[in-house]
Amino acid sequence: MDSERGALFDPTFGGGTIAPLVGDRAWVTAMCDVEAALSRAAASVGLVDAEHAHIVTAAAEVLAATLDITQLGVDAAAGGNPVIPLVTMIRAAVSASGVPAGAVHPGATSQDIMDTALMLVSRDALVAIEASLDDACSAARDLAHAHRTTPMAARTLGQQALPTTFGIAAANWASGLRRARTRLTAVRQACSVQYGGAAGTLAAVHPHGPAIAAALAAELSLAPQLAPWHTERVVVADLAGALGTAAGTIGKIAGDIVAMSATEVGEVSEDAPGGSSAMPHKRNSVAAVTARAAARRVPGAVSTVLSNMDHEHQRAAGAWHAEWETITDLLRLTGGAANRISTSLGGLHVYPEVMARNLDATGGALLAERVTTALSRHTEDARDIVTARCAAGAPLDTDPAITEFLAPSTVRELLHPATYLGHAPELVDTILNELVLDIDHTRHPKGSR
């Protein structure tokens, strides 16, 4: 029998931690939890005997841990979802104790159980993803603080542009991670119970439908529903979109780290670089590489969710079913990417001396704009003079056409990267201060003190 899905590749792509939270057993446990909570919720309004609800809960707990998932999958094929055979199993398990069939799955449809289970799986996985993003953000903050004024070459369109600092680069990484995390938190808090019955009217449990739905939400610690949302899929789309944003943020950082660790650049390296099966000299930024790989698979899955929002009428034929594994994959991939970028940032080595060397690679041309500005106060030909000198690859401080107006020492001072960082250090402070305020607000929301 094959090993559990993901066992081969999850460790590489960071999914080892998130996999148990989104795997088949997690789904089965979530469905059993929903069925048990639904019986208790129905008991709270008198539709199910309280002792029967207790028996259902105990049976569901046992089944969640012991049932044969492979067989459940086979049995699910006939009805198109695993809830139908699962309900049969629970009813069989409690019948010997005198529990009537109606005490299991009261007033529900299969989609109620699947959607609510999806919310439970997503909520628990999001907690883990947020923790990884917090760790990554903290590591990026530390890098920004440590390298607030460390000069490095900014690169635009793949070319050196002007000096910046590694601090502002890392601060922007931290800011993106925090914003992505904040959005995921909001989505997690909005994970809503689903309870609507066969056609979303709760007719089978009238007049107790809203009360059961509210009790079900409380039992599962999910957000209450305003109304059944069987074919109104914004909550699922928001989840996919937030995961896509987080993955995109991670992918950008991972791409920067990979580029900055290239042999010809050499400005950063990971704490535990990976080797090559063929080339002994290789020191690959494996954590960033695999974070990027996981993140790059996410947009397609997000697109699948968004393109399946058009659920027809009161129950979709296929669009709903397409969400289960897609959202599972999104959680697994984004969680893995978050785990790997946290590892990369948490052990990132920064080499200011190499950054300084790379700043000198153009022989001062990096700050030719600054020389042009100073020279233009003396001659209208300033741009042509500086451009011609840069094209020739010759030093600016020895060009007679320049030194006629600017002393060589003045030119060298103008070409010193550390004197042309603009507001970069201040911007680092601004971002880091904002992150502290945001973290404090998250820990102590308004009105909670």
What are the catalytic residues?
276, 315
Residues whose CB falls within 8 Å of the CB of residue 75, separated by 6 or more in sequence, listed in order? 82, 84, 85
Cα–Cα dist 193/229, whole Å: 9
Helix ranges restricted to H, 147-265: 166-189, 209-220, 234-260
Take residue 379 and report the two structure tokens written for it.
């001659």
Take residue 278 and report the two structure tokens written for it.
């063929």
Cα–Cα dist 309/157, whole Å: 36
One-letter identity of residue 101: A
Cα–Cα dist 257/251, whole Å: 10
CA 413 to chain centroid, in Å, comes to 44
Q: Is 320 exposed, middle or buried (0-12, 13-18, 19+ CB in 10 A)?
A: buried
Residues whose CB falls within 8 Å of the CB of residue 252, separated by 6 or more in sequence, listed in order? 173, 176
Specify whether the CB–CB gap between 83 and 56 falls below 8 A. no
Take residue 65 and report the two structure tokens written for it.
């841990």
Specify whether the CB–CB gap between 247 and 298 falls below 8 A. yes
Closest CA to 123 of 39, 239, 36: 239
Cα–Cα dist 112/114, whole Å: 6
User: How far are the Cα atoms of 22, 33, 136 from residue 27, in angstroms, in the given order?
Assistant: 7, 10, 28
Tell me the β-bridge partners of 446: none
User: How far are the Cα atoms of 341, 379, 388, 389 from residue 392, in angstroms, in the given order?
Assistant: 42, 20, 6, 5
Take residue 99 and report the two structure tokens written for it.
């529990």
Tell me the β-bridge partners of 269: 349
Closest CA to 187 of 137, 123, 117: 123
